[in-house]
Structure 1
Amino acid sequence: MTAVAPIGEAAALADDPIVVVGMSVEAPGGIDTPAAYWSALTEGRDLIGPFPRDRGWDVDELLGLSARHGWGQVADAGGFLDKATEFDPLFFGISPREAVAMDPQQRVMLRTAWRAVENAGINPRSLAGQEVGVYVGGSAMEYGPRAAEVNEYSGYRAAGSALGAMAGRISHCMQLTGPCMTVDTACASSLTALDLAVKALRDDDAQLALVGGVCVMGSPAAFYEFSKNNALAAGGQCRPYSSEADGTLWGEGAGLIVLERRSRALAADRRIYGEILATGVNHNGGGAGIALPSAAAQQRLIERVVQRAGIAPEHVDLIEGHGTGTAVGDPLELEALSGVYGAARRNAPAAVGSVKSNLGHAQAASGMLGLIKVLLCGLHGQIAPTRHAQQPSDSVDWTDVGLRLPAAVEDWPDRDGVRHAAVSSFGIAGTNAHAIIAMPTETSDNNA
């Protein structure tokens, strides 16, 4: 393993793109490697399971919410991490008592970051003192007792429950001195973190950037909220862009990628998974309720990111959409995607899908899980299927939108040695995020 390559004075910032050199993932179904994740995606595996019975949740009350007037049905289902309660604190220099007081999102993100750095061929301990940035998308998930009471974890709760510590734990443990922040734009968080990290690398504020997203539900609050809004999938499946979609289904997960400039990656002989051509973030800007998406705002953002990427929209063959499986969100998102990408591909529709069909809506981590899916598709030269794609939504005319839902694994031919893809996310507070990725075939290595 090698340390970070030194900054090269000759590297021209404008002509030295940001590339992905490492990745790691944790997903439901016991998945904790990119290879296992890819297998689950290509097999179209259902990673949804029953509510965990070891978190102190009142599952009987949850399943009985529909008996209350105006509340929707809650299925005994979600995409839950198998190893959310597992952690080796001493490995990371943390005492066992402090570890219990830590939000499990901090623990999961810490070990995911460690694995991603190793995946990049770097010894994490070799980064001590270096200007490495950490950008994590995450939201508060109500873990543990209230801080305003006396209990055995008093004194550890300030850092243990802090959003900033999701990123701060990584920088502290690895002794990194670059920018460090946790970003919360709800379900757009991890792609917003990506946008900030790319800007930091372009401004030369960091040599290397660790960018991720995490969601581990410390409480079932999201199920209560969406039951009251009648927006949960009563059938216990998230069906993005499907005529059978009946609401979203919450999930968990974590993903992290390692970014640096291409010149440094090549100098260190690192594997390059892909290049971040362009990113962008905007807001709906008012109008309908804050939780409602805006097709017009999403389309404006996508157009801007395509322009920044410097490619024709018809060159984007794969779109990893947000795809919540809701009657409002999916049609609006498809309208925006069709308005940019589909408009140029009426005769050769672009593939659109969402990993939420496998593992549910992992909230702040969803964009990063989708991005890693895209990188793996590029790595293997295949497009992974979206579950429940056999019956596409009847809210759009699929013969005219320039989009399609892949229901089985497909070969993905390159265009002059490059494959292009896009990833979208939008959050419940009105934030939209979008990214365009290029994956050169000569950098492919099927041993992720």
Structure 2
Amino acid sequence: MKPDRIAVAWSGGRDSTALLHATLVAAAPLGVEVVALHVHHGLSPNADAWLAFCEAQARRWQRRHALQLRSTRLQTRPAAGDSIEAWARRERYAALRRMALEEGAGIVLLAHHRRDQAETLLIQALRGAGVAGLAGMPREIERDGLRWLRPWLAEDPQAIAAYVRRHRLKHIEDESNADRRFARNRLRLEVWPALERAFPQAAASLADAAEWAHQANDALLELADADLSELDDHERLDVPRWRGLSEARRTNALRRWLQRRLGTPAPASLVVRLGNELSGGTSGEWEVEGGRLRLHRGRLSLQRHPATPTVSVRESALSIHRAGRYRLPGWGGVLVAERAREGGVPLAWLGTLELRERRGGEQFQSGFGRPARSLKKQFQAGDVPAWERDGPLLYSGGQLVFVPGLGLDARVIGLPGQALLKLRWERGDGQ
């Protein structure tokens, strides 16, 4: 990543145009380059005109600012029965991520504001969401190797409109914003005016409620992570010990464990079903989206269904410079790097990694003071099922660093106080 380059998601609409302009003004004296990322969804008959507007505006701004415009046209279409809103959001973020990484920008700015946050909370509440859903959109999140920031999440949209008028910024109007088929538009056009008439501070109050929910969700995640640190090796859940938690903590820990394994929040129905059916027995199987949960000798794990290969060549090298999720489609999974205070590998080991298949003869040291032993013996000693042994072996300078199913080799563990990361392997695309 280039520390002097930042990306802005730019639809050409009022809010993102204002954000891009403000970013250009702030970046200029700092010598920071700005990359505007535009996604052509192909849904509107005006989509070509919107792209042309952005290209013309970018050329004008390039006379005074270090600005680059990147655009992409989505090649997919919503499947039958898909929510157009959900499809567009999913594909847009995937396209933004791809363009940002290609441009070497480690930060992407998004133009959501306070009323967007309030609307998100209401929509989630009407859908029966839990605390995580009511938390709305995060102000900052690190995902897929990028930092996503919403710097205006606490700003009133009227302040953004005033900024646009003050700087005489031209922008597009998306006609789909008047389409009442979409839930957010129905809320914005039919419900919100009446709500604000009855409660003038509705946007601020609901945005504050989302912030409180966000803090509560963070506390629940910390509690779940603390519980799972004693119950989970990042692959298998110790079910007998899990049963020793209170009912509320069991549900909280199970929900978090499933999210880690599946890559997305688990459906409430699955959490409830598993919570009931794991109460007794030491074995069982449950089909889930993209795989199968297996309870084997009191340990719950996820075995993903074999995916249709999308690439024929496996990645052979990887550079990790920060915490994040690193997709390796050639290997069929995601390498997750998380910050750690202890028990992690120093960043210096991860700058230039070599990815290898098992060839036989590899030696792995499972703990300080323990002898290095063959991977086969270590897998057997750790009772690691065969389906959890796939994925790449990570080497740095010829030293084995990480093995899926076993974790970090003890010989690369750093001292507390260093910048440390823990690694784990997740099968599947990690979406």
Alignment TM-score, normalising by the size of structure 1: 0.25
Higher relative contact order (CA 8 A, sep 6+): 1
Say which structure is richer in helix: 2
Normalising by structure 2, report the TM-score: 0.26
